[in-house]
Amino acid sequence: MENSTSPGPQHERFTEWAREQKIKINGVGPAQASGRGLGIIAQRRIEAGEKLVTVPASALLTINSISKGFRLAHEGITVHGLLASFLAFGAVELSAYAVWLGGLLVSIKVPDRASRIRLGPFLQPLGVVGLPDKCRGTLIAAQVFYASRRENCDEIGQLLQKFFLVKHGTNIGTKFHQAREDRMALCPFVDYFNHQDHGCDVTFNAEGYTVTSDKAYETGEEIFVSYGNHSNDFLLVEYGFILEENKWDFLPIDDLVLHHSIYDSARKRLENAGYLGDYTLTRDGVCHRTQVAIRTQTLGIPEWEMFVEGRDGADVGVERRTDAYIATQIIDVYYSEAENALDCLETKTELHPGPRKILVKRWSQIKHLIMDASNQFANPNTGI
């Protein structure tokens, strides 16, 4: 049994509201879990295979919940940005969700104006201080959209608040009839569940969402769901947190593999063979796609084609050359980048302690993952 306390009256009111929306809640409830903030705990012994929460489609907040006029005014914005803008400026249409959203704002601790000023360097999409280049992606893309259309800083501040809420409260994509990029939903009560790299089964269809226990849980034990097989970079950018232990963690290394020494002719071969891009590094070493790409540098064309087709023989000399290339061109370079990033973060006094802490933790994880990977090569010519 784990230590937990009542979530407070606002969350108790929300639980009542959820049941009024026909959300079925079975043997679980929100609670303040020791050291982890708000989460879902078992209120009795839970057996494997029990349906814990069922949320009907009518209770979801999706882009279909937003009026056509509001959507047309935001043509070209991401679904996250649209939902954030709706939460910030769609007050007339939001009255039905007031109890739920009030609870979300409390539980997620959306930054106030002063905090947003301190978080500024962390939130800027074009120059995110300390974030790995490979995971910056479209972080807070809605801010770019609104910065080009609005001059009112307070309105942009409201948008940032709600974008923060959406990124933390939107945890599972829908599979309704929208295009892939629109498959997002704010899902009441399910958004209480915290994430681990494994957890309860979540299924969804046109009827709504169902969370089913993956194993037995004792009374008071926290229950988790998994947002998917995501790396910590993805979790950091999409949801604002990272896991201490994440079996799905990996590092994208396209920029290290496809640098200037891989000539256009080799890139063309990779593209024709279906192996251009999507290269990754894990604790176990580089992926097969990376091995194929690197061998454009260590094998002749006929031998490379045999490797791609799975007809190559085990050549110790080739393996050593390939390992040495990976060690010097990928492992050493990325390790130096991690060390430089950590040194840089030590001097970034303008960065708020919260973002600084999580970025230092992430770069430390990257550094240790690279160190583990360096041990997988037969003859690593690396200084690590």
pLDDT for the residue 326: 92
pLDDT for the residue 277: 92
Question: pTM higher than 0.75 for the full model?
Answer: no
pLDDT for the residue 260: 61
pLDDT for the residue 172: 44
pLDDT for the residue 130: 54
pLDDT for the residue 131: 55
pLDDT for the residue 109: 44
Q: Which residue numbers in the chain have pLDDT < 50?
A: 1, 106, 108-129, 136-156, 159-160, 164, 170-181, 378-381
Question: Per residue in 103-144, pLDDT tens?
Answer: 665 454 444 444 333 334 334 433 344 555 555 444 444 444
- The 3-class secondary structure across the chain, one letter per residue, is CCCEECCCHHHHHHHHHHHHCCCEECCEEEEEECCCEEEEEECCCECCCCEEEEEEHHHCECHHHCCHHHHHCCCCCCHHHHHHHHHHHCHHHHHHHHHHHHHHHHHHCCCCHHHHHHHHHHHCCCCCCCCCHHHCCCCCHHHHHHHCCCCCHHHHHHHHHHHHHHHHHCCECCCCCCCHHHCCEECCCHHHCEEEEEEEEEEEECCEEEEECCCCECCCCEEEECCCCCCHHHHHHHHCCCCCCCCCCCEECHHHHCCCCCCHHHHHHHHHHCCCCCCEEECCEECHHHHHHHHHHHCCHHHHHHHHCCCCCCCHHHHHHHHHHHHHHHHHHHHHHHHHHHHHHHHCCCCCHHHHHHHHHHHHHHHHHHHHHHCCCCCCCCCC
Question: Per residue in 26-44, pLDDT tens?
Answer: 999 999 876 667 889 999 9
pLDDT for the residue 261: 65
pLDDT for the residue 8: 79
